[in-house]
Structure 1
Amino acid sequence: MRENRPYTATRNACKMCTPLGAALAFHGIEGTIPLLHGSQGCSTYMRRYLISHFKEPVDIASSNFSEETAIFGGGANLKTAIQNIARQYNPEMIGIATTCLSETIGDDVDMIIESMGDIMKETALVHVSTPSYSGTHVDGFHHAVRAVVDQYNPSGVKNRKNSRARKKINLFPGMLSNEDLRHLKAIFKDINTELALLPDYSERLEGPSWMEYQSIQHGGTPIKEIQKMHRATGSIEFGTILAASVERGNGSAGSLLESRFNIPLASMGIPIGVKATDRFFSLLEKMTLKMIPKKYKEQRGRLIDAYVDGNKYVSKKRAIVYGEEDFVAAMAGFLAEIGIIPVLCASGGKSGLFIESLRSILPENIFKQVSIHQGMDFTDMEEHARTLMPDLAIGNSKGYTMTRHLDIPLVRVGFPIHDRVGGFRTLHIGYKGAQQLFDTIVNTLLQKRQDASEVGYSYM
């Protein structure tokens, strides 16, 4: 008798499509319109996700595949889409990201782009391969950033070492919030050091109300600054997973500049918490030969004092942490620092580097207590979490249903945050970001206790 085995599939993914990350990265470049080479539904889905999180208009063009296009190829559609965008938006750049469908049928996008010589005289065309069956939205984000740096810093360009631009530092922060990006720019301004931040969507996806319609929102990293990245003093990239991936031979924007122009690259985890932020400021002092301003030392002192004040409320609490691998790793390090055990660290990513990244960040006694899962969906996460008796969960809005079933509070961080306003204004990094996260976590735990009490209480 034939045995019927249960079918195993992803039921509620803990990740998003690869081209979504590419589209977000392109929105962080001045005068750029993202174009997805694929079906209309892909761009609609991604616009919905970005608009819901940022609460801003987000344009993502589509080459609009049909049944006929899927059979005979989408070259004609892509050319028409590029022509329409160039005519209607007059962008400086069109960022072209492929979808599952165009990748599967094998469209030669680079060849199609080369045939658009008349358009390329006025508008740059940058292509990045982003099939969703090969990676996550964060992978698409990093691939897009690398593709842009590659195009605007070709091998043959001259490296003018004595130029003023040589004093700049390139910073590739990854997928952080608008407030994180603004905080990074403020830090570099305070140490009087020029910064080339790529991408920077902090203005474009959080601008003031318009008096008149804007076809492309103001803001983003200027292309002229990207063109000078090969003349910088050095580059910084955030992400332990990203750094380990580079060591395995997978290129990043910073590693490309290092190999092509000998621009020194420093990689580190996302600076969340005291220890990680200490490493970031120590790196800046080494690269710039400038002292960190007193105000940041004062922020550090206040943060450590807050840790002492709130320790009894967080000590030995148990948390689920989920989301992008690098973000989870950084957040887990912060939780261990304040005394919370991240009993479950889960991600939809499948880099193969997640466990080692956490091992390098967490103290050994904490690491032994952590259940680590990559390629996980929320259904499996919920089933596994029931055995761990967590006190709270930390991650994006997609985990809300899980936390409701588990009857634990959710601290919303990262991307996407769809069921609250201001998620894009959440500050995660630096001493100031750690202070806000610590206060939020402590108050969330206090509210849970207070709401669960029969009589409640008015004093802590």
Structure 2
Amino acid sequence: MSITQAPKALADQTKVPRSTATKSTSTTNACRMCMPLGACLAYVGFDATVPFLHGSQGCATYIRRYLISHFAEPMDIASSSVGEAATVFGGEANLRTGVTNVARVYKPQMIGMASTCLTETIGEDVPGMIARITHPETGLAAETGQRVPNLVFASTPSYAGTHADGYHAAVAAVVKAHAQHGAETDSVNIFPGIVSTADLRHLHEILDGYQLPHALLPDYSVRLDGATMARYEKLPAGGTSHAEVAASGRALASITLGGLVTTGVELAGDILSTDFGVEHLRMPLPIGIRLTDTFTDRLAELSGQKMPAWLDAERGRLVDAYIDGHKYAADRTAIVYGDEDLVLGVVSFLSEIGIRTVLAATGGHSGRLAAELAAVNPGRNIEVLDDSDFEQIEAAASELRPDLLIGHSKGYATSRRLDIPLVRVGLPIHDRVGAQRLHHLGYRGTQELFDRIINTLIQVRQDESAVGYSYM
């Protein structure tokens, strides 16, 4: 019996983004961070809120060190300090003691709770514990006589997702707990995703330029990039107010920038759409001209205003920069890695300036990055490595030999070993000053990123030149 084989597809018929399955059964230097880290970052973006981890002390210490190193600002994260005894007999007593101490020392309006691998694995019923803590007759208020802050909880075991998942889970928990019904306002909810403090400030500036009332949920631009203080403040000012969270249920619309999350993680915008009828639009991070145009066009529709003159001028300067720098970028190659949302935006931007992305790698679990890349960059052959680690990324880089690596500082060791220049973007950046002040979003952020990429390529040419020319 003969078997007729199907003809092989032509090369130009296979030029669509596709995912590559993770082959290893272990992870070496993951291209992601843990869910509780993302939750803590989100909680810091709400006014008078203290992040609180129900788990071991080491989790809080690790996350504090990681975020302080990136943002160069102090950050307190409370912990229930679950040890051996609590692991066996349950950690409710630790949780009650921790909430009592945080309420007494910090006097916050809200305590943002997140679970950890330990407490999820032993099956801690945190919502039930919160119900008992806040019980009017037998809870902490009756027991201690002090006010108990609002308690919000997000389930964030590290084995269930990434830091981006934890971030969105925490934002959704806050909105679900405190959004309120009422007459529709003309305000817009912006769920910005994990971006820099400079990006958050720029989003405010853009929305103000369209005269559009808005709330960023969350907004850590002040608490994690503040001015020098003569006296340390345990609970710094800044963040999305609780009034703004309450009003999110009455908003004109919600816009989620990014939002590629693991299946099962709710987006706050979806909750507001389902429970409150607030229109929800999810779009990629506005990086590059095309994606920023999509964002600004939507703002123009919502506000009825034209693009402000200063923003139009920024767009024009960016177009001019593309023309000036195209000769340096054309036909270059890059590997882009990091959060799925950021990778999507950066890859789209690179296609505008002639740099070909030979691999888009992420530690994310959504499984939708390849499809999103195909929608934004139709017809391009972009290999996608989902749920990856740096052992896999380095192996691919050794084979592909790109001109650039673009991602956070966890890729520096690969950059050094393979002698491939690294352009740092996203979170975390531990080996450079000013990570919190890097712009990524809008025409302004794209301009800064464009300049850094082009100058990196020029520097490589200079360093490799036997002449050492200094005039371009």
TM norm. shorter chain > 0.5: yes
Q: Which amino acid aligns with 1:344?
A: L
1:93 aligned to 2:110? yes
Aligned to 2:412: 400
In the alignment, the residues of structure 1 paired with residue 183 and residue 329 of structure 2 have an alpha-carbon distance, to the nearest angstrom, of: 53
Counterpart among 148, 159, 162 of residue 182 in structure 2: 159
Q: Secondary structure at the match of 2:158?
A: coil
What's the CA shift for 1:187? 1.1
In the alignment, the residues of structure 2 paired with residue 158 and residue 311 of structure 1 have an alpha-carbon distance, to the nearest angstrom, of: 51
In the alignment, the residues of structure 2 paired with residue 336 and residue 221 of structure 1 have an alpha-carbon distance, to the nearest angstrom, of: 35
Aligned to 2:302: 287
Kept in 1, the 8 Å contact 2:45–2:217? The answer is yes
Residue correspondence of structure 1 range 226-237 to structure 2 within 5 A: 226-237=245-256
Aligned to 2:348: 333
Moved more, 140-149 or 185-194: 185-194
Q: Secondary structure at the match of 2:160?
A: coil
1:308 aligned to 2:320? no
In the alignment, the residues of structure 2 paired with residue 348 and residue 32 of structure 1 have an alpha-carbon distance, to the nearest angstrom, of: 29
- Cα-to-partner distance string for 1:304-345 (whole Å, 9 max, x where unaligned): 111011001000100010001111011100011111011110
User: Cα RMSD between the aligned structures?
Assistant: 1.4
What's the CA shift for 1:7? 7.9
Q: Secondary structure at the match of 1:308?
A: helix
- Cα-to-partner distance string for 1:8-27 (whole Å, 9 max, x where unaligned): 31011100010000000000
Residue correspondence of structure 1 range 237-252 to structure 2 within 5 A: 237-239=256-258, 241-242=260-261, 251-252=266-267
1:110 aligned to 2:127? yes
Q: Which amino acid aligns with 1:73?
A: G
The structure whose RCO (Cα within 8 Å, separation 6+) is larger is 2
Aligned to 2:439: 427
Q: Which amino acid aligns with 2:367?
A: G
Counterpart among 38, 53, 58 of residue 75 in structure 2: 58
What's the CA shift for 1:363? 3.4
In the alignment, the residues of structure 2 paired with residue 309 and residue 215 of structure 1 have an alpha-carbon distance, to the nearest angstrom, of: 48
In the alignment, the residues of structure 2 paired with residue 328 and residue 98 of structure 1 have an alpha-carbon distance, to the nearest angstrom, of: 28
Aligned to 2:278: 263
Count of residues in Structure 1 that have an aligned counterpart in Structure 2: 441
Q: Secondary structure at the match of 1:342?
A: strand
Counterpart among 38, 43, 53 of residue 36 in structure 1: 53
Moved more, 134-143 or 230-239: 230-239
Q: Which amino acid aligns with 1:309?
A: D
In the alignment, the residues of structure 2 paired with residue 181 and residue 212 of structure 1 have an alpha-carbon distance, to the nearest angstrom, of: 26
Residue correspondence of structure 1 range 162-241 to structure 2 within 5 A: 166-239=185-258, 241=260
Kept in 2, the 8 Å contact 1:188–1:195? The answer is yes
Aligned to 2:373: 358
What's the CA shift for 1:119? 4.9
In the alignment, the residues of structure 2 paired with residue 142 and residue 417 of structure 1 have an alpha-carbon distance, to the nearest angstrom, of: 21
Change (3 A) 1:90 1:119: farther
1:299 aligned to 2:311? no
In the alignment, the residues of structure 2 paired with residue 64 and residue 240 of structure 1 have an alpha-carbon distance, to the nearest angstrom, of: 31
Kept in 1, the 8 Å contact 2:176–2:271? The answer is yes
What's the CA shift for 1:240? 6.0
Counterpart among 3, 10, 27 of residue 27 in structure 2: 10
Q: Secondary structure at the match of 1:398?
A: helix
Q: Secondary structure at the match of 1:328?
A: helix
What's the CA shift for 1:349? 1.0
Change (3 A) 1:180 1:7: closer
Change (3 A) 1:158 1:303: closer
1:376 aligned to 2:388? yes
In the alignment, the residues of structure 2 paired with residue 98 and residue 288 of structure 1 have an alpha-carbon distance, to the nearest angstrom, of: 40
1:439 aligned to 2:451? yes
In the alignment, the residues of structure 2 paired with residue 158 and residue 168 of structure 1 have an alpha-carbon distance, to the nearest angstrom, of: 14
In the alignment, the residues of structure 2 paired with residue 70 and residue 107 of structure 1 have an alpha-carbon distance, to the nearest angstrom, of: 9
Kept in 1, the 8 Å contact 2:193–2:259? The answer is no
Q: Which amino acid aligns with 1:384?
A: A
Aligned to 1:19: 36
Aligned to 1:410: 422
What's the CA shift for 1:251? 2.6
Moved over 3 A (4+): 118-122
In the alignment, the residues of structure 1 paired with residue 404 and residue 106 of structure 2 have an alpha-carbon distance, to the nearest angstrom, of: 46
Kept in 2, the 8 Å contact 1:86–1:119? The answer is no
Q: Which amino acid aligns with 2:189?
A: N
What's the CA shift for 1:455? 2.0
TM-score (norm 2): 0.91
Q: Which amino acid aligns with 1:405?
A: R
Aligned to 1:3: none
